[in-house]
Amino acid sequence: MVLLFVFLSPIYMQSAVFERITLTVQTIKPTTIVFDESSAIRLELWQRGLKVFFDNFIIGTGYWTTRWALGGYEAHSQYLALLIETGIIGFSVFCWLVVRMFKNALNLLRKTKSDFLKSVGIGYAAGLTAILITCFFSETLESFRLVGPLWFVTGLITSANRLLSKEKEDVDIDSS
């Protein structure tokens, strides 16, 4: 963990990061923290969104109802939007799907001997991680420009796994 912290330090130790933090957190007083207007609105929307989620926590309010539930505003968090729209059941299915996507990439890494396919699996896992991090502060998975290629590469990795499994089965049949 310490090694990861040190390795990522060039990213979070940049002056632009500190400048953004100082723009977001206007003042810190002993009892309160004052945020800029954009951050304050986002925090208020998240509070309202959590209230809507807890009012409808099992099945949610329905697909594409986040703006309606938040009075015309976006949730500014893909995870909150999923919780509001699909409830805990839909969010659990989403989490299961994400875990399966990572397992699919790791299976490709484990099964293949090809450096190209290994690099595709590593790149896919890294890209998926980056997308999931951005989902904390935006509704990233609503953009077809991002989701289209994501599902395309997911399909390629799934197909590669199936071909590698079939190839292994063919080798096992031939050797017996």
pLDDT in tens, 110-119: 999 999 999 9
Compute the residue count for the chain.
Answer: 176
Q: What are phi and psi of 28, to 5 degrees?
A: -120, 115
**Count of domains observed in the chain:** 1
- Whether this prediction's pTM lies above 0.85 is answered by no
Q: What is the per-residue pLDDT across 128-140, written as a single tens digit (0 to 9) for each?
A: 999 999 999 999 9
C-alpha to C-alpha distance for 174 and 176, rounded to whole angstroms: 6
Name the token pair of 145.
């420009």
Domain that holds residue 76: 2-175
Rounded to 10°, the helix 37-55/78-111 angle is 80
Q: What is the CA radius of gyration of the chain?
A: 21
